[in-house]
Structure 1
Amino acid sequence: MNLIKKLWQNKWIKGLFILGAFVLLFFIGLYFSIYLGAFGKVPTTQDLSTIIQEESTEVLDKDGVLIGKYYIYDRQPLEFEDFPKHLIDALVATEDVRFFQHDGIDNVSLLRVFVKSILLQDKSSGGGSTVTLQLAKNLFGRKHYKFVGIVVNKFKESIIAKRLEEIYTKEEILTLYFNTVPFSDNTYGIESASQKFFNKTTKDLTISESAILVGSLKANTYYNPRLNLERSQKRRDVVLYQMEKYGYLPTDSLEVIKQEDVVLHYRSFNHDMGVAPYFREQVKKELTAILDTITSPEGEPYDLYKDGLIVHTTLDFKMQQLAEEAMKAHMTKLQKAFENSYGDSGPWTNDKLIDAEIKKLTKYKQYKDQGLSDAQIHDSLAIKRDVELFSWEGDTVRNINVRDSISQYLKLLNTGMLSVDPSTGAVRAYIGGIDYRVFKFDHVTQSERQVGSTFKPIVYTAAIQNGMKPCEYFSLAKVTYTNYDSWTPSNSGSSENDTYENYSLEKALSHSVNTIAVKVLNKVGIPKVLEQAKKMGISKKLPAEPSIALGVAQVNLKELTAAYTSFVNCSRPVKPYYITKIEDRNGNIIASFKPEVSEDEAFSDYTRQVMLEYMKATVDEGTAKRIRSRYGLKNAIAGKTGTTQDNKDGWFVGITPNLVTVTWVGNDNYGIGFKSTGMGQGANSALPIFAEFYQKMNADTTFNAITKAKFERPSQQVESDLNCEAEKRDSFLKRLFTRKHKKKKFRGD
C-alpha cells in the first residue's frame, strides 16, 4: 500500500494514470456511442440474419458450362460443402489461426493494433482482423471519418462480428466470407476467382491454386497472379509455410508443392472479352426485354445485375470455341492477302472516304455544334495520341491521329457466322464480328447485306414448287430485258461459246449461273418467289425486280439461316433462339422458352428433296467443291456460295443433317470491296470458315452426332426425275438460226 501511495504522489506517474484512465473512458464512451448508432446505424441481429448479397447473373451453355456473367460485382455464391478442405486450411493458417477458438474477436491481435497502429502510429503493424471481422468489412464496407476513423470502423466491425458469431456457425461464416471476399481483377467470391484465374470450379482447385488465391487476399492488386506471377508465387509459398507451421500440411508435401509452377488458365468474364461476346450481348438484350414482363413472388422486378439469375442458353461452348478458332485462323490469312492485293493504294487511304467517316464521329458533331470550321476541326483531330489498334498478329499501341486511326480500321474485313440446330432453331455457335472490343456492331442480327447467290435456292425452290421439272434446261445465253433499263445479267467468266450451251436446273444452281437464275425467276414469276421467301421465314419486304434472282436484296444473317433450316427440317423453317430457361438464385424457373417451328410447310417434301440434291451437287462438283478438294471434308454436306456485285460480300451456307451454318465476310464500309472476284467470291472469303470449323469438329468425337450424320436417301421419284444429263448443246440448225444475243421483256408475273 505504501508503495502505491508513494507512486501516486509522483506527479508523472499520476499524470500517466489519469491519462490512461481518460483514454480508457474515451474508448469506452466511443464504443457505446458507436453501439447506439452515433456514427451511423450498426446492423442489428435481425438485419444480419437475412443477409442477401448481390449476385451476378450467370449465363450457361446448353450443358451448364459457364460462358459469361452480367454483374456490378463479379460474385458467384457456393455452399460450404463446395469448399475443399485445403482451401479452408490455407485461409485459417494465413488469416486467422485461432478462428475456431475465438468468438469473432481475437483480443491479442486487436490489442496489437491499438498499441502499434493507434499509439505508436506504426502502419506496418498489420490489421489484426479475424475472418469474421473481415467478413463484417466485406459485407458493409468502411466509411471515412475525420476523427479516429480506423477506431470507429474497427469498433463497428467488432460489434458486427460478435453478432455474426451469435447468429451463424463457423462453417456458415466461412461460407459467407468465401462468397464475398474481394480477389484480384474486381472479382468477388472464391468461385468467380477460381473460374477467372484457373478456369475451374472451386472444388477442383489444387493446394497450390488455393494458396495462390488465399495469398492474394493480403493485397489483391500487388499479388494479382495475372499481373505478377512471380510475386504471386512467392506469396503462395508463404501461405504453404503457414499451413505447414500449423499442422495443415506435411513438410514433405510442402517441399513438393513449392516446386510446382503456377499455371494460369485465365478466363476474363469482362463483357467485351472471352468466348461468345456477341452472343452474350444478344442474350442480354433479350433478357432485358423478358425481365420487363415478369416480377418476383414478392412483386418486385428482377435486377439483371444483382439478383443472381441463372440463364440457360442453347449455345454449345465447345463448338463456339472451335468456330472462333476457325474464324480467326481464316480471317488472319484473308486480311493479309486482302491488304497485299491493294498494296499502298488501298481504298482506305482515299481522302474522300476518310472524310466521310470523320463526319460520322461524335467528336466531329460536337465540334460542329460549338461553331468550329472544318479547318479548325481537322486541326483538332490531327493531334496525335497513343491508340491501341487491333491486329490479328496482336494489338499494338501507336502514336497516331484520328485520320490515321480511321484508315487503319477501314481496311479491316469483318465477318458473321451462325450455326443452328435445324430441328429446333437452337443457336449452337454465334460470331457477330472479328472482335467485340473494337466492333460492337453485330453482323448476325444488326447487319443487313446483299445476299448474292445465296438467294438463288429460294428462286429455284419456288420454281420446283410451282411445277417446273427438275431436269428442265435453260440456255446460258445472255438476254437484255428491255423493260428494266435494258438490263443484261451476265455470268462470271462467260464466253461466246456459252450462247449455245444449256444447263439443267441442277447444274445451273450448283455452278451459280446468273443468266439462268434470272430466266427461272422470269418463268416462275416474281410474286411467287417473294411469297416463297416469306414462307421460308424471310420477313423483310424484298424488292420486286428481276435482279432479286442475283441476291440484290439485303437480309440479315439470322433470317437467311432460318430460311435454310427448312431444307433439313421437313420443309418447315425455324426461328433461331438463344434462351431455354431462366432461374432465380434458388433454382426456381421463372421463365422458359420453346422452339418456334413453323406449323406450315414452306414447300412440299418433293421440292425439299430436289433442292437438297441440287445443293449437294454444289458441294460435290459446283462452286463449293473446294470443301472436298482442298479441305478434304467427307461429311454429308449441301451448300450454296454467294458473292455480290463488285465483290463486296462473300457468303457460304453449309447444310448438314443436324446443323445449318451461314458465314459472311466483307467490309463494313460499302465503298470497300475485294480487289478481285477470285479473292472476294464466297468460296474463297466465307466458305473456309465453315470448312475449317468442320475440320475441327471432325477431329472431336464429341460432335459425332453432327459430323457423322447422313442425309436421307431421296425418293425413287426424285432420283428418277433428276436422272438427266447436266448439260446439252443446241443442235446445228438451232445454232444456225439463233441470234447470239436476245432482247426481250421480263415477264416476271
Structure 2
Amino acid sequence: MAKQKAKKPATKKPKKQQDDTRRHIKTFWKLFGVGILLVILIFLFASWGFFGSLPDETSLENPEKNLATEIISTDGKTLGKFYKENRTPVKYEELPDHLVNALIATEDARYYQHSGIDAKGTVRAAVFLGSRGGASTITQQLAKLFFTEQVSDNKLERAIQKIKEWVIATRLERRYTKEEIVTMYFNEYDFLNQAVGIESAASIYFDKNPSELTTAESAMLVGMFKNSSLYNPLRRPQLVKERRNVVLSQMEKYDYITESVKDSLQALPLNIQYTPQGHDEGIATYFREYARAFMADWIKENPKTDGSLYNIYSDGLKVYTTIDSKMQQYAEEAVDMHMKNLQKEFNSQNKKNKTAPFRDITKKETEQIMNSAMRRSDRWREMERQGKDKEEIIASFKKKVPMRVFSWTAENNAIDTIMTPLDSIRYYKKFLRASLMSMTPQTGEVKAWVGGIDYKHFKYDMVKTGQRQIGSTFKPFVYATAIDQMHMSPCDTLPNTQYTIEAGKYGLLEPWTPRNSGGKYGGMVTLKEALARSINTVTARLIDRVGPSPVIELVSKMGVETEDMPPAPSIALGTPDVSLYEMVGAYSVFANEGVYVKPTLIQRIEDKNGTVLFQNVPETKDVISDETAYVTVSLMQGVVQSGSGSRLRGTWRGGHLYKDVITGYPYDFKNPIAGKTGTSQNNSDGWFMGMVPNLVTGVWVGGEDRATHFRSTAYGQGATMALPIWAIYMKKCLADDELNVSDENFKRPSRLSIQTDCSQWKENNQETDEVPDELDF
C-alpha cells in the first residue's frame, strides 16, 4: 500500500504584519476623512467669507450690473444705446434652441445632470491634468463672470478663486432654474467690440436679434466663449471659422444636428454683418444725441422713488421714439447720394477760386473766420485749460500732425493724412452740410432726423440747434396771413411792378424797394403764379397790406421762435434765421388743416422692468382755419406744378424730361405735392419744404459759413441744392408700401368759400433754370 503524501500546513501572516495592514487601512480612512473634512471646511470657510466676501442672497437674485439704455424706433428696431457696458438682457424664450444646444454641446454636455459641479469632469481633469478637457460647468463659468475678479496668475489665489466659483455655482443652482442660468450666462458674456451679452453680439456681428440667428451664426458666437479675445471675428476670421466648425462637430456628436447638416454648415462662410453700436456709428446718430440731451433734462426732473437719479448709462432704460428706422435709413441714403455729387461739383467750381472755399469776402474777413474757428476748437479749449498761453496755442495750430479726416471718396468716409490743425479747419470749411427732418403732421411724430452729413466728423446738429436764413420758404406764411385776414384767393391778381414801402413805416429808416431776381417785372399775376415764381414784389405788397406783426404772430403760433424777429417788412423775403425743426413744425399746420402739433420724438420711457416712467401727451393748438390751410396748400401745389419745384414733375422746358443738374436723375412724381423752395442771399442756404397729406419733410443745404457758397443761383438755389434730397427720399418712401405714405389728394374742407381753381390762369410751363427764387433786398 502506497504511502500518502503529507499535507503542507497552511501558512499564516505574522501577527505583526496583520497589525501593520490594519493600521495602514485605518490611517488611510482617517486621512481620507480628514481630507473630506478639510474640503468641507474649505468650502464652509469660503461660504463664510474667510477667503474674501461673497455676495449675499439679494445680490445673487438681483445682481448689480450696468445695463445699457436702448433707443428704440417706432418699428421696434434698436437705433442705438447709451452705456458703460453695451448690455441689453434677453429672456430665455428669445434664445433659439440651436443656440442653447450649441452652448451645452460645447461647454457642458452633462449640464442637465449636475448641480453646478460636474464630479466626473472634475476627476477626469484632475487625473489627466486637463489634457482631456477642463471641468468648469456653465454654472461655474457664470459664477466667474458674475462675482470673481480677473483670473490670477498666482496659483494659490487662483485655487481660492476656483473654490469661490464652486461655492457660488452651487448657490446659483439652488436658486435658479437651468434655463435661467443659461440665460444669465448669455446675457453676461463679453463678446468684444462693444458687444456685451448675446443681444448686442447678435446685433453687432450679424445685425439681427438673437431669435433670428441661424445655427451656423449661433455656433460662431458660442465658439467665442472659449476666448473672445483670441476668437475675434474681426481680427481672426479664419481661426473663428475653425472654432465655429468645432462647435458644429460637438452639436453633431451629441445628436443636436445630423452629420449632413454639420457638413453643409461647416462649408459656409462666416457672413459677418458688422454693425457697430458706438455712439458715432449706426443710423440716426444726430437724433440719438438729441435723445441723450432729452434724457438728461428728463432725469433731472423725474427722480426715482428713493430720490436718487436715473443713470442712462447703467439703469437699462428703454426709450421708445417716433423715428421709423426705414424712413431714417432712406433719409440718410438720400443725403449721402446727393451730397457726394453736390460736393464734387462744388469742388470743381472752386478749382480756380483763390479764396476757396470762401467767396465774396476779403482777406481780412477770411482771417476772422479762421481765427474764430481756432478759438472754438477742442484743441484751443484743452490747451487753454492746461494753462498754455495764446502764442503757444496758435503755434500748435501750425505744426503738422497725423490725423484722420472726412472724405466722401474714402472707405468709411475717412482718410489718414498729415496736416496742420489750421489747414484741417480750412479743409473742413469746404464741405457743404445738409439736414433733413420728416414728420407726420397729424400726430407730430418725427419719422426721420438727419442733422448733418457725418456725425463722427461734423457733430453740429443742423436740424434743431442750427438756425439759418430761410429765404423764400418764409413766403407761404405771408400768403397765409393775407388769406386768413383778407380772404384772398390764389386767383386774385396783383401787379408785378416795383413796389416801395416808404421810410418811417414799420420803423424803416429808409425806403425799402425789393427787387425781383433777374429784374423781371410787368403785367398782372395771380397769387398762385406769384408764389410759384417766388416774385418778391408781390410778397412785398402782401406784407404791406397785412403788416409784419400779424405774420410774426402767425409763425409764433406755429412753433417758430420769434423773440429776435424784427417787425420789418423784409422778413417777407426770408431774412429771419430759423431752424429746420421749427420750419417743419410750422409747415405741418398747412397739411394738418390749420392745427399745430408740436413735433414729438420720444413716445415713452420704461425702466428695465417695463414700468412706464414717461408717456408723451401731444401738444396741439388751433392756428388757422382749415380753409386758410387748404388754400395755402393749393398755392404751394402751384410751386410744384409750374414753379421752382416743377422739376419734381419730370417735365421741363416745353415738355422735355427734366434731369437734375447735379445727380442727372429725372424726377417723375405723379401724386399731389405741395412745396416751396428757398434760397438765401448770395446762394448761401438752399431749402426745400415738401408735403404730401401725411408727411411733411424739410431739407436744408449750405456751408458752415455763409461765405461758403456756389458762384451762381443755378447751382446755389434751393431747387438744386435741397430739392433733390427730398425727391430721392420721397421716391424711396412712396415705393415702400409698408410705410403708408399718402399719394392721395390733400383733404378738402367741407365748406370752402375761397376759389382755388384758377382755370383762367394759363400756367407757364416754359420755366428755365433762372427761377426767381433768390432772396433779394
Structure 2 counterpart of 1:312, from 311, 320, 327: 320
Aligned positions, number: 713
- List aligned pairs for 1:376-525, cutoff 5 A: 376-394=392-410, 395-467=414-486, 469-470=488-489, 471-479=491-499, 481=501, 483=503, 484-495=509-520, 498=521, 500-525=522-547
How far has the Cα of 1:658 moved from its partner? 0.3
- 1:68 and 1:422 map into 2 onto residues whose CA distance is 26
How far has the Cα of 1:579 moved from its partner? 1.5
Q: How big is each residue's C-alpha offset from its partner over 1:183-226, in whole Å with a ceiling of 9 and x where there is no partner?
A: 12132221221122222222221110100110112221332223
**What SS is found at the alignment partner of 2:98?**
helix
Residue number in structure 1 paired with 2:692 = 656
**What SS is found at the alignment partner of 1:75?**
coil
Whether 2:540 is the aligned partner of 1:540: answer no
How far has the Cα of 1:423 moved from its partner? 0.6
Mark the CA change 1:172 to 1:3 in structure 2 (over 3 Å): closer, same or farther.
farther
Mark the CA change 1:720 to 1:25 in structure 2 (over 3 Å): closer, same or farther.
closer
Residue number in structure 1 paired with 2:67 = 55
Residue number in structure 1 paired with 2:81 = 69
Whether 2:624 is the aligned partner of 1:624: answer no
How far has the Cα of 1:726 moved from its partner? 6.1
- Indicate if the aligned counterparts of 1:424 and 1:596 stay in contact, CA closer than 8 A: no
- 2:123 and 2:454 map into 1 onto residues whose CA distance is 54
Mark the CA change 1:409 to 1:358 in structure 2 (over 3 Å): closer, same or farther.
same
Mark the CA change 1:663 to 1:582 in structure 2 (over 3 Å): closer, same or farther.
same
Structure 2 counterpart of 1:133, from 135, 140, 152: 140
Specify the code of the residue in structure 2 equivalent to 1:554: D
- Indicate if the aligned counterparts of 2:699 and 2:725 stay in contact, CA closer than 8 A: yes
Structure number with bigger Rg: 2
Specify the code of the residue in structure 1 equivalent to 2:693: P
- Indicate if the aligned counterparts of 1:506 and 1:614 stay in contact, CA closer than 8 A: yes
- 1:3 and 1:308 map into 2 onto residues whose CA distance is 71
Mark the CA change 1:608 to 1:188 in structure 2 (over 3 Å): closer, same or farther.
same
- 2:386 and 2:194 map into 1 onto residues whose CA distance is 39
- 2:382 and 2:252 map into 1 onto residues whose CA distance is 63
- Indicate if the aligned counterparts of 1:507 and 1:726 stay in contact, CA closer than 8 A: no
Residue number in structure 2 paired with 1:100 = 112
**What SS is found at the alignment partner of 1:183?**
coil
How far has the Cα of 1:143 moved from its partner? 5.2
- 1:371 and 1:566 map into 2 onto residues whose CA distance is 52
How far has the Cα of 1:287 moved from its partner? 2.3
Structure 1 counterpart of 2:310, from 302, 309, 313: 302
- Indicate if the aligned counterparts of 2:675 and 2:691 stay in contact, CA closer than 8 A: yes
Structure 1 counterpart of 2:372, from 337, 352, 356: 356
Residue number in structure 1 paired with 2:356 = 347
Unpaired segments ≥5 residues, structure 1: 729-745
- Indicate if the aligned counterparts of 1:478 and 1:515 stay in contact, CA closer than 8 A: yes
- 2:186 and 2:571 map into 1 onto residues whose CA distance is 61
Q: How big is each residue's C-alpha offset from its partner over 1:233-279, in whole Å with a ceiling of 9 and x where there is no partner?
A: 22111111121223222111111111222212332222211111111
How far has the Cα of 1:374 moved from its partner? 5.7
- 1:378 and 1:722 map into 2 onto residues whose CA distance is 63
Name whichever of 547-556 and 225-234 sits farther off. 225-234
**What SS is found at the alignment partner of 1:59?**
strand
Unpaired segments ≥5 residues, structure 2: 1-15, 504-508, 651-665, 765-776
Specify the code of the residue in structure 2 equivalent to 1:448: Q
Q: How big is each residue's C-alpha offset from its partner over 1:492-535, in whole Å with a ceiling of 9 and x where there is no partner?
A: 2224xx2x333221111111112221222122211122122222
How far has the Cα of 1:157 moved from its partner? 1.1
Structure 2 counterpart of 1:692, from 716, 720, 728: 728
Mark the CA change 1:126 to 1:295 in structure 2 (over 3 Å): closer, same or farther.
farther
Q: How big is each residue's C-alpha offset from its partner over 1:280-302, in whole Å with a ceiling of 9 and x where there is no partner?
A: 22122222322333344666543
Q: How big is each residue's C-alpha offset from its partner over 1:635-693, in whole Å with a ceiling of 9 and x where there is no partner?
A: 21100000001111111000110001111011122332222211111001111111001
The alignment's TM-score, normalised by the length of structure 1, stands at 0.88
- Indicate if the aligned counterparts of 1:503 and 1:726 stay in contact, CA closer than 8 A: no
Mark the CA change 1:126 to 1:485 in structure 2 (over 3 Å): closer, same or farther.
farther
Residue number in structure 1 paired with 2:631 = 610
- 1:583 and 1:421 map into 2 onto residues whose CA distance is 24
Mark the CA change 1:3 to 1:521 in structure 2 (over 3 Å): closer, same or farther.
farther
**What SS is found at the alignment partner of 2:79?**
strand
Residue number in structure 2 paired with 1:669 = 705
- Indicate if the aligned counterparts of 2:43 and 2:167 stay in contact, CA closer than 8 A: no
- Indicate if the aligned counterparts of 1:424 and 1:597 stay in contact, CA closer than 8 A: no
- Indicate if the aligned counterparts of 2:642 and 2:763 stay in contact, CA closer than 8 A: no
Specify the code of the residue in structure 1 equivalent to 2:575: V
How far has the Cα of 1:458 moved from its partner? 0.6
Residue number in structure 2 paired with 1:231 = 239
How far has the Cα of 1:580 moved from its partner? 1.6
Mark the CA change 1:263 to 1:365 in structure 2 (over 3 Å): closer, same or farther.
closer
Q: How big is each residue's C-alpha offset from its partner over 1:385-413, in whole Å with a ceiling of 9 and x where there is no partner?
A: 32111122231111222122212211111
Residue number in structure 1 paired with 2:597 = 574
- 1:148 and 1:676 map into 2 onto residues whose CA distance is 78
How far has the Cα of 1:70 moved from its partner? 2.1
Mark the CA change 1:189 to 1:144 in structure 2 (over 3 Å): closer, same or farther.
closer
How far has the Cα of 1:454 moved from its partner? 0.7
Specify the code of the residue in structure 1 equivalent to 2:189: V
Q: How big is each residue's C-alpha offset from its partner over 1:565-586, in whole Å with a ceiling of 9 and x where there is no partner?
A: 1111121111101122222223
Residue number in structure 2 paired with 1:737 = none
How far has the Cα of 1:724 moved from its partner? 4.7
- 1:4 and 1:164 map into 2 onto residues whose CA distance is 48
- Indicate if the aligned counterparts of 1:55 and 1:73 stay in contact, CA closer than 8 A: yes
- Indicate if the aligned counterparts of 1:78 and 1:191 stay in contact, CA closer than 8 A: yes
- 2:423 and 2:34 map into 1 onto residues whose CA distance is 70
Mark the CA change 1:713 to 1:481 in structure 2 (over 3 Å): closer, same or farther.
closer
- Indicate if the aligned counterparts of 2:280 and 2:455 stay in contact, CA closer than 8 A: yes
